[in-house]
Amino acid sequence: MNLYLAPMEDVTDPAFRMLCKRYGADRVYTEFVNADALVRDIASTTRKLTIHDEERPVAIQIYGREPEAMADAARIVEQAKPDFIDINFGCPVKKVAGKGAGAGLLKDVPKMLEITKAVVNAVHTPVTAKTRLGWDEHSLFLEDGTPFIVDLAERLQDCGIQELAIHGRTRSQMYRGEADWTLIGEVKNNPRIHIPIIGNGDVCTPERARECFERYGVDAIMIGRATFGAPWLFAEMKGLPAPQTMAEKVAVLKEHVLASIAWCNDERKGILHSRRHFAASPVFKGLTDFKQTRIALLRADTKEEVFQIMDEIVEKWGKES
């Protein structure tokens, strides 16, 4: 069961990737890294190329809209020695897709293919790509009835990518509605496709992960949001040892806080960075009369305060979960 940690901006930093790896992620991805900023050697961007041997195999993801800049960026990325260089053809946000990068390239397939070829030719590292089903609901099928993504997958394969990850939504869906896995399954079932296909979208439980492998035959599943505040999800899905009690899970979350502080090299920033995980963590869901404590947890801005509130939570609610 190949389970990958999805690339997520501001989330999949080394601290979080390392924890996911420890709990069974078979591959981790950096957040997307802007090609132009890499070429201009912007320090805050090049820092995103930091990877460690313990997290391998690791993919560094890049995005951009010009083949030349993307090839140059890929050469820079290669020096960081990732196991894969992944191209982002899926980001739906306006500042990216609206400028013709990320999912914006779903509207300009020739350019997307040009970028892919340029990157593949620029480096020796295996190149992979991540995309969506199409631009919007009107462009899901070509005139002859072939699904857009089935055709696109073949063309990307012809450009020399080694694997393709597909998020089962269109650009215009952003993150709304439910991911549609049937078209991902169609790509996988296309006899002309021989590269591994990675399915992505709304996989949150071990049952759903099993169902997606069995029903759609994908080679791997990529998991994003369900890992927030739950890096042990991979272990749960694989039936590997995972923290069971609230106390055990909170200990992992504390470790994440410390690792975030170390990565940010700043206590307050590290805690701010961890908040998204506390806010979404299944550990703090459904607890009786929890509202005030939750607010306090999300307001705390020193390590001591966060840890003290977490200890109180275990004390008070530990038996409930």
Ligand X SMILES: Cc1cc2nc3c(=O)[nH]c(=O)nc-3n(C[C@H](O)[C@H](O)[C@H](O)COP(=O)(O)O)c2cc1C
Binding span for ligand X by CB under 6 A among 5-13, 46-54, 237-245, 296-304: 5-13
Using CB under 6 A, pick the residue from 19, 120, 129, 223 that binds ligand X.
Answer: 223
Using CB under 6 A, pick the residue from 3, 19, 20, 91 that binds ligand X.
Answer: 91
* 7 lies in the binding site for ligand X (CB under 6 A): yes
Confirm if 14 and 263 have CB atoms less than 8 A apart.
Answer: yes
Confirm if 17 and 234 have CB atoms less than 8 A apart.
Answer: no
Q: Select 16 or 32, whichever has its Cβ closest to ligand X.
A: 32
Q: How far apart are CA 210 and CA 1, in angstroms?
A: 8
* 38 lies in the binding site for ligand X (CB under 6 A): no
* 14 lies in the binding site for ligand X (CB under 6 A): no
Using CB under 6 A, pick the residue from 34, 61, 125, 274 that binds ligand X.
Answer: 61
Structure tokens at 306: 């966060």
* 317 lies in the binding site for ligand X (CB under 6 A): no
Is 264 a catalytic site residue? Answer: no
Residue 57 preceded by cis peptide, ω within 30: yes
Q: Select 125 or 131, whichever has its Cβ closest to ligand X.
A: 131
* 167 lies in the binding site for ligand X (CB under 6 A): yes
* 134 lies in the binding site for ligand X (CB under 6 A): no
Q: How far apart are CA 130 and CA 137, in angstroms?
A: 19
Q: How far apart are CA 274 and CA 26, in angstroms?
A: 23
Other residues' Cβ atoms within 10 Å of the Cβ of residue 54:
11
> Among 199, 240, 243, which Cα is nearest to 221's?
199
* 224 lies in the binding site for ligand X (CB under 6 A): yes
Q: Select 202 or 313, whichever has its Cβ closest to ligand X.
A: 202
Q: Select 130 or 314, whichever has its Cβ closest to ligand X.
A: 130
Alpha-carbon radius of gyration of the chain = 20
Q: How far apart are CA 316 and CA 318, in angstroms?
A: 6
Binding site for ligand X (CB under 6 A): 6-9, 11, 31-32, 61, 88, 90-91, 130, 167, 200-203, 223-226
Residues that are catalytic: 91
